[in-house]
Amino acid sequence: MTLTIEEMAAFCKRKGFVYPTAEIYGGLAGFWDFGPLGVELKNNIKRQWWKTFVHNRTDVFGIDGAIITNKKVWEASGHAANFADLMLISKKTKIKYRADQFIADKLGINTEGITAAEVNKLVKEHKLLADNGEEFEEVKPFNLMFETAVGPSQGSQNIAYLRPETAQSIFINFNLVADNARAKLPFGIAQVGKAFRNEISPRDFLFRSREFDLMEIEYFIHPDKLQDCPFFADVKDLKIQVLTAEQQEHKKQHAEVSFHYLVDTSLASPWHAYWLACFYQWFLELGLKKENLRLREHMKEELAHYAGACFDFEYKFPFGWKELQGDADRTQYDLTKHGEMSGKPMVMYDEESKQKIVPYVAAEPAQGVERLFLAILFDAYEDDKKRENIVLHLHPSLAPVHVGVFPLVNKLKDKAQEVFIGLQKQFVCQYDKSGSIGRRYARADEMGVPLCITVDFETLEDHSVTVRDRDSTKQIRVPLATLSGVIAQFFAGAPLLSLGKEVSVQVVKEE
């Protein structure tokens, strides 16, 4: 990976993936707008997630909850009291820093799970000062939830919160969904939607924003059946780089292990390990590079208030290994708390014991869309020196545009338009007639378009077109009669060269 995060932000703006919001008014830190290519990539990521983890399974049901939430939800969940980051504030001018990041940047140490007492001690010991030379007050917790008032009158009774995680909409609807879906344990509830966190220092482009999209599953099992995962055998031998809490304590490097190692050493239950493996497979299928992915076990002191155990998938961003996805064993915490606070128990009837039980959240894969969007772009990006242009090697299922359609020369525009309109019904297509054919291929490569179709003079005689593969630049000749079928087969996974006769790249005379 050669790009910095700033270079990636510049590329995203130039190509229409992501813009700083309200830039004409000076922007708004931590908020971003998605351009024509960005919205397609983002929607494709969400669509693939939903297809893989909801539609392709029989044990996961989807919901879509409200963003603005009754404050009692967050009191019961513990977020009102605990969802905070430590903040350092300069004494006079009140400049604010997120304490763990500030100390990590200044001292180059790992500050995951750092406590207030440790922050105060390090600030004193190292005489750390704000950037303007001021001393700091004692470190304070800062709650990250955005507060709003619902309705025309303002008062404490009208306070509500913009949800900082989608998980709570799943927990508060648990009884209804279980009933409607006639669900039996084990099963999951999935949701994709906006989340908001009033981050003290949003930074690193999309990585730490104040508004982002979450894709979350809460997977519920019988509380006595953590060890009984019938699917684990299928994934147990998959290998992944893992950094355990113990390795972190002893400042050791991650090591490659199988998923069954996590279970054999009791670091994760079979259910938890199974879900981690499912997501690892999914990341690899989407084209993330194995060497840029690892699992990191949370240290005891950094576990969220609800978690029994937690692993983060980390991605090797240009600014270091950072959290891509969090996946906690969330125990019975949330359903128990909502049952207690609402007076409506969140329970299921267990046929075996003839008792009501509180289901147990064995895994909670919680994926921020924007972080995955970034990781996908970093792994897809290649500055191809031979072609002298950038190529985005996006997985075809994620590509914002499926097919580029070009007339070789302007005289062929009517035929090319006819091909374009025919394909548009089935695929996301882009018609491009300006500049040399080489320039048009280069533009399509930078947008990650997997296939480009050129209508040439021969098309008028043999009713065929050339189809060019973005990654290899190889071309095949395809009859118009079978074109949409060939493209569909390519998007279903067939290599382009297996779908037609390779032809040599034509030398094109400029008009």
Binding residue for ligand GAP (CB under 6 A) from 15, 98, 163, 208? 208
Residue 434 Cβ, how far from ligand GAP at the closest point, in Å? Answer: 37
Residues in the chain: 511
Which stretch, 204-212, 244-252, 385-393, 421-429, contacts ligand GAP (CB under 6 A)? 204-212
Q: Going by C-beta distance under 8 Å and a sequence separation of 6 or more, which residues neighbour residue 28?
A: 21, 22
Among residues 193 and 407, whose Cβ is nearest to ligand GAP? 193
Q: Which two tokens stand for residue 228?
A: 């009984």
Q: Binding-site residue total for ligand GAP (CB under 6 A)?
A: 19
Please, which residue, 28 or 129, has the CB nearer to ligand GAP?
Answer: 28
| The one segment of 206-214, 409-417, 435-443, 456-464 that binds ligand GAP by CB under 6 A | 206-214
Residue 455 · residue 423 · CB < 8 Å: no
Rg, Å, the chain Cα set: 26
Smallest Cα–Cα separation from 352: which of 222, 485, 509, 499?
222
Closer to ligand GAP by CB, 15 or 371: give it: 371
Q: Identify residues 305-324 at the interface with ligand GAP (CB under 6 A).
A: 323-324
Indicate the residue among 278 and 478 with the shorter CB distance to ligand GAP. 278
Among 370, 379, 432, 445, binds ligand GAP (CB under 6 A): 370
- CB 163 to ligand GAP: min, Å: 10
Give the residue, chosen from 214, 390, 451, 496, that forms a contact with ligand GAP under the rule CB under 6 A: 214
Is the backbone of residue 151 left (phi > 0), alpha (psi -120 to 50) or beta?
A: left
Q: State in angstroms the smallest separation of the CB of 155 from ligand GAP.
A: 29
Instruction: Report how far apart the first and last C-alpha atoms of the chain are (Å, whole number).
Output: 38
Pick the binder of ligand GAP from 89, 167, 245, 361 (CB under 6 A).
Answer: 167
- 112: how many CB neighbours lie within 10 A of its CB? 15
Positive or negative, the CA dihedral 112, 171, 198, 153 is negative
Cβ 272 vs Cβ 309: under 8 Å: yes
Q: Which is nearer to ligand GAP, 65 or 438 (CB)?
A: 65
- Which lies closer to ligand GAP via its Cβ, residue 324 or residue 444? 324
> Considering the rule CB under 6 A, would residue 188 count as an interface residue with ligand GAP?
no
Whose tokens are 């394909």? That residue is 423
Among 40, 85, 100, 165, binds ligand GAP (CB under 6 A): 165
Rounded to a whole number of angstroms, the minimum distance from the CB of residue 156 to ligand GAP is 26
C-alpha distances (whole Å) from 406 to each of 443, 480, 489, 496 are 12, 14, 21, 18
* Using rule CB under 6 A, residue 500 touches ligand GAP: no
CA distances from 373 to 44, 326, 386 (A): 10, 16, 27
Of 53, 61, 136, 212, the one binding ligand GAP by CB under 6 A: 212
| Nearest to 71, CA basis, from 173, 192, 157 | 157
Residue 249's nearest CA partner among 296, 316, 306 is 296
Residues in 131-160 at the binding interface with ligand GAP, rule: CB under 6 A: none
∠ CA 35-38-42, nearest 5°, is 135
Q: Which residues inside 325-364 make contact with ligand GAP, applying CB under 6 A? A: 325-326, 364
CA–CA distance, 211 with 208 (Å, rounded to integer): 9
CB of 144: closest distance to ligand GAP in angstroms? 8
Q: Taking the complex as a whole, how short is the minimal distance between the CB of residue 78 and ligand GAP, in angstroms?
A: 12
Find the binder of ligand GAP among 286, 366, 380, 487 (CB under 6 A). 366
**For the chain, how are helix, strand and coil distributed in percent, rounded to 5?**
35, 30, 35
Sheet holding 68-70, edge to edge: 68-70, 159-162, 146-149
| Minimum separation from the CB atom of position 377 to ligand GAP (A) | 15
Decide if residue 216 touches ligand GAP (CB under 6 A).
yes
User: Given candidates 90, 111, 332, 367, which one binds ligand GAP under the rule CB under 6 A?
Assistant: 367
Q: Of 294 and 415, which has the nearer Cβ to ligand GAP?
A: 294
The reply on whether position 111 binds ligand GAP by CB under 6 A is no
Question: Per CB under 6 A, which region of 102-110, 154-162, 209-217, 473-481 contacts ligand GAP?
Answer: 209-217
Distance CA 138, CA 2 (A): 40
Residue 63 engages ligand GAP in binding (rule: CB under 6 A): no
Does residue 371 bind ligand GAP (CB under 6 A)? Answer: yes
The type of residue at 79 is H
Q: DSSP string of 30-89? A: T-EEE-HHHHHHHHHHHHHHHIIIIIT-SSEEEE---SEEEHHHHHHHTHHHH-EEEEEE
Binding positions for ligand GAP, rule: CB under 6 A = 165, 167, 197, 199, 208-209, 212, 214, 216, 323-326, 364, 366-368, 370-371
